[in-house]
Amino acid sequence: MKYLSLLGSTGSIGVNVLNIVRQFPELFQIRGLAAGRNISLLADQIREFKPEKVSVIDEHHAEELCSLLPREFCDRVIYGTKGNIEVSALDSADMTICAVVGAAGLLPTIAAIEAGKDIGLANKETLVVAGRLVMQKARENRIRLLPIDSEHSAIFQALEAGRKEDVSQLILTASGGPFLHTSAKDLQNVTQDEALNHPNWSMGRKISIDSATLMNKGLEVIEAHWLFDMAAEAISVVVHPQSIVHSLVEYQDGSVLAQLGIPDMKIPIAYALSYPERISLGLKPLNLWQCSDLEFLEPDYDRFPALRLAFEALERGGVSTAVLNAANEVAVEAFLETKISFPEISAIVDQTMAQIEGGNDIELADLLEADGAARKFAHNLIPANAS
């Protein structure tokens, strides 16, 4: 039996984690849950899985949650960053799954690592903001950091076929999102609903927008750099609209190993939860006879500058990737609130990166200071009278 703490239980990844726990009660049990504002769904999860501790975003939502639960559960409800940290580091949990969105996952993940928990990482921003620091702590505490993103899970699996020193290149695949063939002119007028309409994956709102701008792929490049200890120049991106090949590893002898599968997040989630074993999920198998039209295209860095900005931030080093992420979070939120246009997301990130720099990426205080400064600067770029 493996005991789990799950951060982000009401999001798309979290719901899939709980589906797997539900499917395999003899293998997994929930000890802690943390969520944001979806109190109704969280209350249902608490009644079903009966966790020891539950955290929500703030005191108001904690009170709302208690009003929906039997009295016996109310003593288990905590809130805020401190609440998330407590849930992530529960003594009774063996593994912490970080599936929250954004930089909010950083401090709870560090707390879980320091508590000696293996990590199932679905929060790429943790390594984007503080990759050097997090990986150093993982080594010091001798914990396993297992990727849940489909692309990083694919690379993780392909790397098991050879020696790290024989790898010449990591190749991340990108679907291209909903605007793969949209002109730069037409991108000026795309709507929120169009940007959220991903062709292959069902994801949360923020990640869906990141996929549309290709920032999601840029964040994954940065995550891969830290997770697999590969230089930026040894990581590339290829657009693969069908989302069947989830990523590839090229070895120095010319062999290229790919992991293929249907686009279902339960596959990489289950692999992280059960590693090094595999469990049968009962999913429809990949039908290769229906995969004759697989495409592989070069990314368009002009129409999708977010991907270029991510590579630039990684090359600059220091706190640059933390700045990139913070500005992007602010800009995506502004787009979702219809305060800025779709191309302005990348423009705000670009301007913020040009303004905020300096600091040491091994010092948590420097990273958090850069994160705060970038958010403030990016907020000031959003028109005050925007609707």
Residues 295 and 338 in one domain: no
Q: Do 98 and 156 fall within a single domain?
A: no
- For residue 201, the model assigns a pLDDT of 62
CATH number of the domain that 343 lies in?
A: 1.10.1740.10
Does 257 map to a domain? yes
Does residue 189 lie within any of the structural domains?
no
| Neighbouring C-beta atoms of residue 295, cutoff 10 Å | 11
In a domain, 354, yes or no: yes
Residues 21 and 125 in one domain: yes
Among 255, 284, 306, the domain-final residue is 306
- Which CATH number characterizes residue 12's domain? 3.40.50.720
For residue 205, the model assigns a pLDDT of: 87
- Pair 289, 334 in one domain: no
- Mean pLDDT in each 10-residue stretch from start to end of the chain (387 residues)? 97 95 97 94 96 95 91 89 96 96 90 97 94 96 95 96 95 93 91 82 82 95 97 96 95 96 94 96 91 91 96 94 96 95 96 88 91 96 76
Q: Domain boundary at 262, 287, 306, which?
A: 306
pLDDT at 370: 94
- pTM of the predicted protein model: 0.93
> Do residues 168 and 289 both lie within one domain?
yes
DSSP 250-288: EETTS-EEEEE--S-THHHHHHHHHTTS-----PPPP-G
The pLDDT value given to residue 305: 97
Domain for residue 11, yes or no? Answer: yes
pLDDT of residue 72: 84
19 and 143 together in one domain? yes
CA distance 224 to 231: 9
Whether 122 and 98 have beta carbons less than 8 Å apart is answered as yes
Q: How many domains does the chain have?
A: 3
- Name the residue among 363, 330, 364 with its Cα closest to residue 345: 330
Domain end position, chosen among 306, 338, 362: 306
Q: Considering the domain boundaries, does residue 62 fall inside one?
A: yes
DSSP 8-state symbol, 297? B
Q: Which domain holds residue 242?
A: 152-180+195-306
Residue 187 lies in a domain: no
Strands 118-121 and 145-147: what pairing?
parallel
321 and 277 part of one domain: no
What gap in Å lies between CA 70 and CA 243, rounded to an integer?
43
Beta carbons of 217 and 297 less than 8 angstroms apart:
no
For residues 263 and 156, state if they share a domain. yes
Instruction: Kindly give, in sequence order, each residue whose CB lies less than 8 Å from that of residue 179, ignoring residues fewer than 6 positions away.
Output: 187, 190, 194, 195, 212, 303
- What is the per-residue DSSP string for 316-364? H-TTHHHHHHHHHHHHHHHHHTTSS-HHHHHHHHHHHHHH-----TT-H
213 and 248 in a single domain? The answer is yes
Same domain, 249 and 333: no
* pLDDT for the residue 198: 74
Residue 115 forms part of a structural domain = yes
Neighbour-count burial of 136, counting CB atoms closer than 10 A to its CB (0-12 exposed, 13-18 middle, 19+ buried):
middle
Are 265 and 281 in the same domain? Answer: yes
- Both 386 and 266 in a single domain? no
Quick one: pLDDT at residue 385?
Answer: 63
